[in-house]
Structure 1
Amino acid sequence: MSENDSDEVDLWRRAREGDPAAFGEVFDLHKDRVFRHAYRILLDWHDAEDVAGTAFLELWRNRGAVRVVNGSLLPWLLVTVSNVASNSRRATARYRKLLDRLPRTEPVPAVDDEALARLEPFGDELQDAMRDLNPVDRQLATLVILEGFSVLDAAEAVNLSPGSAKTRLSRMKGRLRKRLSVTADSTSAGDFS
């Protein structure tokens, strides 16, 4: 083991003990190699940055189980980059497959005029209510209520069963209705009833 390796082991020990400067030095020591490895796999600058960042996040999250090989963290980081890049490619492929299955129609604005008219009376109150939803419910609300996708398509997009999506939408609409003080016979509530 060289003196440089010994320094890295000491840095890693200090980082594991909670020294943020030591973790920063470990990051600085390997960031370029980790990024280059991610870029070689993905051939996309932004995706490589995301994957490299995720590898360092995993290094920190798994700091108690990380194996130092020949006095260096680099082998562990490179293997992690390969795994994260594979996961990223699979997720991208699933997303593209879903987009390919969606029906091709003429372009539709992000939120149509009718949806905007339904939301106008609520203003900031609706935005706050939507922001407070958990991410899956927010995605379902956006896809079904605002964008007009079917529950089946929205369920597939957020990786839920159609039954689960219907249940979540029903509960979420009830919470939104209560939060926004919308009565069941209100004509401005359209899709919230």
Structure 2
Amino acid sequence: MQDPTAMSTSEAALWSAARQADERAFAGVFDLHRDRVFRHAMRLADTRADAEDVVAMAFTDLWRRRDDVRVVDGSVLPWLLVTTTNHARNAGRGRRRYRTMLLGLPHTDEDDAAVVAVGRIEARERREALRAAIAKLTPTDASLLLLTVVEGMSAVDAAAAVGVTHDAARTRLTRARRKLRVLLEAAGVRMDTEAGQ
């Protein structure tokens, strides 16, 4: 297993070169983080194709905004995870608008595509309720919650990734968990106690 310090040093060197528009170095940063970012996107997206699109947008932003990226403990991964969350939320809002429009169109049982779309929506009710509840959180609160609960980051690292103090992050996380529990219960979804801790 690779020493985390060595990996951090290796990433720091790659990122330093990538910031100077070194495409090979950027490819190295991509190779370091693509799997983790993809797993994160898969948790937030409806389909594998949606997750792939979100990952592509996150890495495109990393390249375009490389001079503005916040590095946490020598890694761009926290920035990538926050950016992935934001892109997934935006894509989710677009999908919901599209679904609403589809459901509002007149159709018959012969409209196979509409029947399949409605069936998929019903099959994903619980997952959608969770996504909808997370979407009602502020972007900062949603990012803190996803980074700590889903990605397993410490509150200190998550706070640094989103640009708030550790104390503010702890307060925001408590409030976000409480709000998420209320929203899910209102939608008829029981939140696991582990996710709520």
What TM-score results when the alignment is normalised by the length of structure 2? 0.51
Match of 2:92 in 1: 89
Q: 1: distance between equivalents of 2:82 and 2:43? A: 13
State the match for 1:27 in structure 2: 30
3-state SS of 2:75 partner:
coil
Runs in 1 of length 4+ with deviation above 6 angstroms?
105-108
Indicate whether 1:11 and 2:14 are aligned.
yes
| Equivalent residue, structure 2, for 1:37 | 40
Q: Which residue, out of 11, 31, 51, partners 1:48?
A: 51
AA of the residue aligned to 1:91: G
Work out the percentage of aligned pairs sharing the same amino acid: 52
1:43 CA drift (Å) = 4.6
| CA deviations over 1:129-156 (Å, ceiling 9, x no partner) | xxxxxxxxxxxxxxxxxxxxxxxxxxxx
Aligned to 2:76: 73
Query: Which secondary structure state, in structure 2, belongs to the residue aligned with residue 68 of structure 1?
Result: coil
Q: In structure 1, what is the Cα distance between the partners aligned to 2:49 and 2:43?
A: 12
- Label 1:32 to 1:86 Cα distance change in 2 as closer, same or farther (>3 A): same
Deviations 1:1-59 (A, max 9, x none): 82321221111111110111000000001000000010112252111111111110111
Q: Secondary structure at the match of 2:90?
A: helix
Cα distance change, pair 20–105 in 1 and its aligned pair in 2 (3 A)? same
* Residue number in structure 1 paired with 2:67: 64
Greater mean alpha carbon deviation, residues 35-44 or residues 63-72? 35-44
Secondary structure at 1:2 match in 2 = helix
Hey, what's the Cα distance between the residues in 2 that align with 1:106 and 1:69? 53
Deviation per residue, 1:95-137 (Å, 9 max, x gap): 11111222336979xxxxxxxxxxxxxxxxxxxxxxxxxxxxx
- How many positions carry a matched residue from both structures? 108
- Rg comparison, structure with higher value: 1
TM-score, length basis structure 1: 0.52
Query: CA–CA distance in 1 between the matches of 2:66 and 2:16?
Result: 10
Instruction: Work out the CA distance in 2 between the residues paired with 1:12 and 1:36.
Output: 22
